[in-house]
Amino acid sequence: MSKNDWNPDLYLKFDNERIQPSIDLVARIDYNNPTKIIDIGCGPGNSTQILYNRWHESEIIGADNSPAMIKKATDDYPNQKWILFDAGVDNINDKFDLVFSNATIQWIPNHDKLLQRFADLLNDSGVLAVQLPLFFDMPLGKAISEIGRQSNWIAATQGVDNLFTINTAAYYYDHLAKYFSKIDIWTTDYHHVMESQSSILEMIRSTGLKPYLERLADDNKKQQFESLVLDKIKQDYPLQNNGKVLFSFKRLFFVAKK
């Protein structure tokens, strides 16, 4: 696994929290028998299994731009099809009945062009189903961004916020309406019950916090940055009476049909 690649094992440590949005998104897709499905940003294959469980007779491709994630998916699910694919850059010469993407497009720029690319991947009656985290709508996302802009960190972390592409529901509706006749769009707040405040830090370390840490020069700097983030977590996500913590995580969903 390269230095900046994703860590599948750390990602899957919080599989229960990460998989529920996929379950909810698949449940909202009105398509009885799609012949071909692509899961864009499949990660280690956990979200793809929700698709397999519902449409086990369909041809399903898991696609991700992370070699580590594709290796993990291939090792865990060797009888399924996995490809290295960067949705923001690469072309695929195929058409699908369902294009599915869970917690991925926030890492891809130019969503107006991306949605057009997704629409072009679909057959005439195809469906696009997407979920993305509203990272900067949450206290944790705002806190990480604010820390990154402090004077002693800005030289290293400047521009990291721009690695995220997250737009409003109105933005997605307007762009989807160019290509799709039926659009269902909604948000959900997930209240994850975490064992500790440190668990929130550990969960976000493999995703939203990752690009900030990668800009820091050494482990000591990373630990200092994480310590500041943990202090904010303790302020924003207090302990419950039983010692556990509610981690509210906001996500945007849309399902669009041609």
Residue 12 has pLDDT above 90, yes or no: no
pLDDT band at 2 (very low <50, low <70, confident <90, very high): very low
Tell me, yes or no, whether 1 lies in a domain.
no
Tell me, yes or no, whether 12 lies in a domain.
yes
Q: Which two tokens stand for residue 236?
A: 């924003």
Residue type for 229, please? V
Domain housing 149: 8-257
pLDDT for the residue 7: 79
Residue type for 188, please? T
Count structural domains, the chain. 1
pTM: 0.94
Tens digit of each residue's pLDDT (9 = 90 or more) over 169-199: 999 999 999 999 999 999 999 999 999 999 9
Tell me, yes or no, whether 42 lies in a domain.
yes
Tell me, yes or no, whether 162 lies in a domain.
yes
Tell me, yes or no, whether 128 lies in a domain.
yes
Tell me, yes or no, whether 3 lies in a domain.
no
CATH number, domain containing residue 63: 3.40.50.150
Q: Under DSSP, is residue 178 helix (H, G, I), strand (E, B) or coil? A: coil
Tens digit of each residue's pLDDT (9 = 90 or more) over 65-86: 999 999 999 999 999 999 999 9
The string of DSSP letters for 8-65 reads: HHHHHTTHHHHHHHHHHHHHT---S--SEEEEET-TTTHHHHHHHHH-TTSEEEEEES
Q: Under DSSP, is residue 214 helix (H, G, I), strand (E, B) or coil? A: helix
Tell me, yes or no, whether 238 lies in a domain.
yes
pLDDT for the residue 11: 78
Tell me, yes or no, whether 2 lies in a domain.
no
